[in-house]
Chain A
Amino acid sequence: EVHLVESGGGPVKPGGSLRLSCAASGFTFSLFTMNWVRQVPGKGLEWVSSISPRTTDRYYADSVKGRFTISRDNAKNSLFLQMDSLRAEDTAVYYCASMTGYGYGPDYWGQGTLVTVSS
């Protein structure tokens, strides 16, 4: 059974940095693209970033390009999101989501971790 557990969320001041982690289990992590998706409380879903299995391809939403960096450690079955120059509008629940073969998008999701950017 696929299991994704995010961590690293919390309060941070505008302009600050935070690093999110996602621990994956139940599938061969190194074979599949991984994603970060966020959701402002009470609002819709927004895709943030994707990374290919061997990190050759990384994609970002325009809203985070140049500020966020996605990475992964296949040896440790872990996904990361380094978030720099944080803004109030980055406040959201951040979900880690896998793409294990059900179509071209996220299939399994973690429970999310809340990031709050506020002075």
Chain B
Amino acid sequence: QSVLTQPPSVSAAPGQKVTISCSVSSPYSENYFLSWYQQLPGTAPKLLVYDNHKRPLGIPDRFSGTKSGTSGTLDISGLQTGDEADYYCGAWDTSLNSWVFGGGTKVTVL
């Protein structure tokens, strides 16, 4: 059984950087390709990062993803009030044939 674990919340002042971690507990974690989603209040999720570090067209480079071993991170630099949202990591688990999401992290701009 794979699990993606995220911190419940992170916060920082405008202009600062926050880092959201996503820990993968699976025997196959090395094969995980993480995606990251932003969900603004009252809206549908939006893809920010895929394949651990790639950004879809139109996503600013303030959002950057990395993965090393069993852990991935999403960095949000130059934090803005409009970045206040819930952020989710996700990955396809090939052993379970299922997509799994982390529990989500609430980002607060102080």
Residue of B nearest to A45 (CB): B101
Query: Is B63 on the interface with A (CB-CB < 8 A)?
Result: no
Given A44-B101, A61-B98; A107-B56 close (CB under 8 Å):
yes
9 contacts between A and B (CB under 8 A): A44-B101, A45-B37, A45-B90, A47-B98, A59-B98, A104-B92, A106-B47, A107-B56, A108-B47
Q: Is the CB of A103 within 8 A of B101?
A: no
Query: Is A95 on the interface with B (CB-CB < 8 A)?
Result: yes
Residue of A nearest to B101 (CB): A45
**Secondary structure of the A contact surface, majority rule:** loop
Given A105-B50, A109-B46; A59-B97 close (CB under 8 Å):
yes
Given A44-B88, A104-B92; A109-B103 close (CB under 8 Å):
no
Q: Is the CB of A102 within 8 A of B47?
A: yes
Set of chain A residues within 8 Å of B88, measured between Cβ atoms: 44-45
Query: Is B17 on the interface with A (CB-CB < 8 A)?
Result: no
Residue of A nearest to B88 (CB): A45
Query: Is B13 on the interface with A (CB-CB < 8 A)?
Result: no
Set of chain A residues within 8 Å of B47, measured between Cβ atoms: 102, 106-108
Query: Is B110 on the interface with A (CB-CB < 8 A)?
Result: no
Query: Is B100 on the interface with A (CB-CB < 8 A)?
Result: yes
Q: Is the CB of A109 within 8 A of B45?
A: yes
The 10 closest A-B pairs by CB, nearest first: A103-B50, A47-B99, A109-B44, A104-B92, A45-B101, A44-B104, A102-B50, A105-B35, A103-B51, A107-B47
Tell which of A95, A103, A107, A112 has the most Cβ of chain B within 10 Å.
A103
Set of chain B residues within 8 Å of A109, measured between Cβ atoms: 44-46
Query: Is B20 on the interface with A (CB-CB < 8 A)?
Result: no
Closest chain B CB from A28 CB (angstroms): 18
Closest chain A CB from B89 CB (angstroms): 10
Report the Cα distance A45→B100, complex, angstroms: 9
Set of chain B residues within 8 Å of A110, measured between Cβ atoms: 44
Query: Is A50 on the interface with B (CB-CB < 8 A)?
Result: yes
